[in-house]
A and B are shown apart, each in its own frame.
Chain A
Amino acid sequence: MTTEIETTARDIVPPGEGEERHVEWEGEQHVYEPHRVGIPPLGPYVRELWRRREFAFELSRTTLRAQHFETAFGQLWLVLNPLLLAFVYFLLVDILRHGHRPHGFFAHLVGGIFVYYFFSGAVRESVKSVTGGGRLVLNTAFPRILLPLSTVITAFKRFVPTFFIYIPIHLISGLPVTLADLWVIPIVLTIAMTAAGVSMFVAALQVYFRDVKSFLPYVLRIWMYASPILYYANEIPNHWNWLLKANPIGSPLAAWSEVLQKGHAPPPVDMLVGLAWGAGLLVTGALFFMSRERDFAVRL
């Protein structure tokens, strides 16, 4: 990618001449050199990323506009899908539980599905983000990582209205409303980090294996069943407990339910495990993506 060195002409010409050339070159200089171990210099990369952040937001806005997100019915449509899914699962789980459902179970289920939908939506959309970027990737030098990041922004914007649907369900279920509910913000943030990491990983992988897109729905479905959404985290049998920790979004989802159901702060261990997964996946996903990025222009 762009190895852009932020410098004024002053740095590259002898002093005295600087003033004149500064205007001439408009202070912009790019140096492109081979990437060490495939990873472009991180400092300039991140600066470029930040400078072009508007692109990710605009791309997200454009995507949503194409889905009529700005109209009331468009939003309703987006909420309808996870909501219907929640009804289906509620029916299924209630039968399996012989009708013995704990207090507030429906709220747990709906809340879990909504937040999982944020995660899976980001990953599902991002898989096509680079391969679908076609000509832009071929013709323009920009940090390609903006493409999967934009889908995370899109997924988040679609998550926000579902949260407002959750609120009345929460209240009708008679669940507590406390200050501790604010914990949902860092929880959603850790899930967003994980989503971004996984998104970048699958977006890059899709360039090499175009059938990743076809496998992904199965992976995401199994991932959902392995997460404490259709059940409570404390119902997991002891010998399956490792699964909760091994699942990057397992602990945050457990914490999510704990906060909303009981109205108190989540166990620190859940938050820490979730944060470790989120940060770890974000960094490895980004590094993997960046190390493959040079290839994209010749592989598409």
Chain B
Amino acid sequence: MISLSVSETASPATPHAPGADTTIRVEDVSVTYRTSLERKPTFKSTLLRLGRRERVVREVEALKNVSLEVHQGSVLGIVGANGAGKSTLVRTMAGILPPSVGRVEVHGRVSTLLALGVGFNRDLSGRENVILGGLAAGLSREQLHAKYDEIVEFAELEDFMDMPMRTYSSGMYGRLGFSVAVNMDPDILLIDEALSVGDAKFRKKSFEKMRELCAQARTIVLVSHALGSIEQLCDTAIWMHKGELRMQSDPESIVHAYTKFLDVGEDAFTMEDL
């Protein structure tokens, strides 16, 4: 793997015409997985259930034959109802959930900001969580140290970094998560339902940051229920329905079709859009 030092010295920020190159190619991808119906599966309950032929494992077909391409420097919006496979699609692009069938090709370094946010251990401090998360994501220690101050400053959490994350408010959680994801110099940023982060001021800041990333020819994939954000930020959009790609078009058409489908009229924006 060629390290990021290439990008730091050679500045890849020369913008290219959108649509010139395919950054993410999803070819006929299906994802099925088995999930347990029990909240905490145990050996004991398995033993006790023996002979009763009760099914506690369910097969989920989260994606069915999805194909799409995302071009460099573009912003793709994904809309769809709960359980439509939006998050699965993003996780497949991130390599967290490999496809059951098909092929996903991703060119560039991916940074994810998924619904659950950063911080895997609430007992560790914000600083430790950022460092561990960054190392797991494949950054080197030097890169992390170089980025660290920027991350903290953007999240406006200077006074809280050495406190355990369990003391954080949900807004602080979200801000740190967003800040880590956007400040890691990603070529591709995958965002799942994270725009409702923080207060109005931070939301404005995060919009600006994403625009800035677009201007640098970074690619963004955005999953959101906030249809207004999809229209404002995206170049193209797709509509997922029950694991299938239902429609792919410009954001306005998608939002229009989707709201019509929801049968609630054009002005039914979610509260996040205020």
Footprint of B on A, CB under 8 Å?
1-4, 6, 8, 21, 23-35, 40, 47-48, 51-52, 54-55, 58-59, 62, 66, 132-142, 146, 208-212, 215, 294-295, 297-299
Contact = CB atoms under 8 A, between A and B. Distances in A.
Contact of B106 (A30, A35, A58, A137): A30
Given A24-B217, A28-B108, A62-B132, 11 more contacts: A3-B95, A24-B16, A25-B187, A32-B98, A40-B98, A48-B138, A51-B1, A52-B136, A52-B138, A140-B94, A146-B136
Interface of B: 1-2, 4, 6-7, 10, 12, 16, 21, 33-36, 40-44, 46, 60, 72, 91-92, 94-110, 112, 114, 116-121, 123-124, 128, 131-133, 135-138, 140-141, 187, 217
Nearest to B92: A32
Given A1-B95, A30-B95, A211 B118 contact: no
B107 A34 contact: no
Q: Which of B95, B108, B137 has the most CB of A within 10 A?
A: B95
B136 A136 contact: yes
Contacts of A146: 136
B135 A210 contact: no
Contacts of B95: 1-4, 30, 32, 141
B91 A34 contact: no
A210 B136 CA distance: 25
Contacts of B12: 23-24, 26
Contacts of A142: 136-138
A81 to B, nearest CB: 21
B103 A140 contact: no
A62 B1 CA distance: 27
B116 A135 contact: yes
A139 B106 contact: no
Contacts of B133: 136, 140
Contact of A23 (B4, B10, B36, B116): B10
A270 to B, nearest CB: 34
A25 B43 contact: no
B100 A34 contact: yes
Contacts of A208: 36, 41
Contacts of A40: 98
Contact of A31 (B105, B112, B123, B141): B105
15 contacts: A4-B1, A24-B72, A24-B217, A29-B105, A29-B107, A30-B106, A31-B103, A32-B95, A32-B98, A136-B133, A139-B118, A140-B94, A142-B138, A210-B41, A297-B91
A23 B135 contact: no
B98 A33 contact: yes
Contact of A6 (B1, B33, B97): B1
